[in-house]
A = this chain, B = another copy of it.
Amino acid sequence: MRLSRYFLPILKEAPKEAEIVSHRLMLRAGMMKQQSAGIYAWLPLGFKVLQKVEQIVREEQDRSGAIELMMPTIQSADLWRESGRYDAYGKEMLRITDRHEREMLYGPTNEEMITDIFRSNVRSYRDLPLNLYHIQWKFRDEIRPRFGVMRGREFLMKDAYSFDVDRAGAERAYRKMFVAYLRTFERLGLKAIPMRADTGPIGGDLSHEFIILASTGESAVFCDRELLETPVPGADVDFDGDLAPIVESFTSRYAATEEMHDEAAFAALPEDRRVSARGIEVGHIFYFGTKYSEPMGAKVTGPDGQEKPVHMGSYGVGVSRLLGALIEASHDDAGIVWPDSVAPFGAGIVSLRPGDGAVDAACQSAYEQLAAAGVDPLYDDTDARPGAKFATVDLIGLPWQLIVGPKGLAEGTVELKRRATGEKQAVSLESAIARITAKA
């Protein structure tokens, strides 16, 4: 993409209402614009990252055997009356009355609707296990939306729902999602630690939050240092095999959010293994048994011919929230530092003198070679001053910068800068491209 044809409205000043660094940087980098309290338009740069995050989430759901569908945003209140949550949900639910005076709502989550889809179509244990997910906009009418995408009202969430004939099956489904989440966050360049979560009135021990560590995180977390080194399974992990040892390699070590923290258990760790840090919740997995299937009549016939309510779990990833979390975890004074896997463009080409024949030719050649290699470069061909161009390409956090000016070209070089380290090298155009494409 040529910057002269793109829509990248960089702000010089961070708007005052932005209290945290990810919110400030997303606004300054022209990634989004607030349209109402807690409701954002995703501008082109932000939307590109959102799509990349979404695609990684999708690929790891698919790899684990979950099947994608798409539920609508607007739901019938009647469905929520069946589960008893219509009255219980409170003011966070955006309630709507349509032209025929029917009570509707903007879905804050989808347990009821997916249970309805299940009960309408599945009758037998032979159709199980089943895990259905979608990646769809949700709305929660937060009383005080803030922190940009970290606590917005309209947000993009991946929510998966598993259906099994019994608790043992549901535990297998739970472990699959546990491993899928480990892989998802690792691919996003994040260090995510699963932490035992409060299961509320339902009880049981099958609920984990996935917390990423970031110095500016929203809450205090405590964990065993060994968790930071525990290996995440590769792409060849067998989701039909026994995943319990992988899950246990995480759950057997101490990790807790502030609410679940056990000071005594933590103190029992050797001192050099006690990590106390800040974290951001980016995922939550939960086994809730027959909480919805029972009142809503979602039953299957078991091998014994008996009808039984199906055992369910739900598994959420805050897709739009992840963009805030990624920036909290990876930024510096100059701006965002995107992990390669989700960078909106793989490299920035900065022309220091548009109109200069040699510079234009070198930039164009770099542009074509990088595009052909699938790097998707952003080419700053505008007539802005070099200082402004450097500030912009640092701010938007592209992994590589390829800086092309007449002086360097006269000596046969361009400047290649790695955003994450700040390392700069004067190298030939060919070797710059070779380095970028080797890493891409």
Contacts and interface: CB of A to CB of B under 8 A. Distances in A.
A126 B65 CA distance: 50
Nearest to A39: B72
A98 B141 contact: yes
Nearest to A163: B7
A98 B104 contact: no
> Which of A50, A71, A130 is most buried by chain B, counting CB atoms within 10 A of its CB?
A71
Interface string A1-22: 0000111010000000000000
> Which of A40, A47, A154 is most buried by chain B, counting CB atoms within 10 A of its CB?
A47
Nearest to A40: B72
Copy number of this protein in the oligomer? 2
Given A43-B117, A121-B9, A35 B69 contact: no
Specify the main secondary structure of chain A where it touches its partner. mixed
A189 interface: no
A56 interface: no
Contacts of A33: 117, 120-121
A139 B102 CA distance: 15
Nearest to A382: B126
Given A33-B120, A36-B76, A74-B36, A41 B65 contact: no
Interface string A24-64: 00000010010110011111101100100000000000000
Given A96-B96, A113-B41, A141-B99, A67 B6 contact: yes
Interface in A142-170: 143, 153-154
Given A91-B99, A98-B141, A35 B71 contact: yes
Contacts of A40: 72
Interface in A88-146: 91-92, 94, 96, 98-99, 102, 104, 106, 113, 116-117, 120-122, 130, 132, 134, 137, 139, 141, 143
A164 to B, nearest CB: 14
A42 B92 CA distance: 26
Contact of A71 (B6, B41, B143): B41
B116 A35 contact: yes
B74 A104 contact: no
Contact of A73 (B91, B120, B122, B154): B154
A379 to B, nearest CB: 15
Contacts of A290: none
A139 B74 contact: yes
> Which of A30, A43, A44, A69 is most buried by chain B, counting CB atoms within 10 A of its CB?
A69
A268 interface: no
A70 interface: yes
Interface in A295-314: none
A413 interface: no
Contacts of A91: 99
B94 A68 contact: no
A351 interface: no
Given A35-B76, A39-B74, A44-B67, A143 B6 contact: no
A302 B139 CA distance: 41
Given A41-B117, A74-B106, A69 B36 contact: no
Contact of A41 (B70, B99, B104): B70
A33 B71 CA distance: 9
Given A5-B65, A98-B141, 18 more contacts: A5-B67, A7-B69, A36-B74, A36-B75, A36-B102, A36-B104, A40-B72, A41-B69, A41-B72, A44-B69, A73-B73, A73-B137, A73-B139, A94-B96, A94-B98, A96-B106, A99-B141, A137-B137
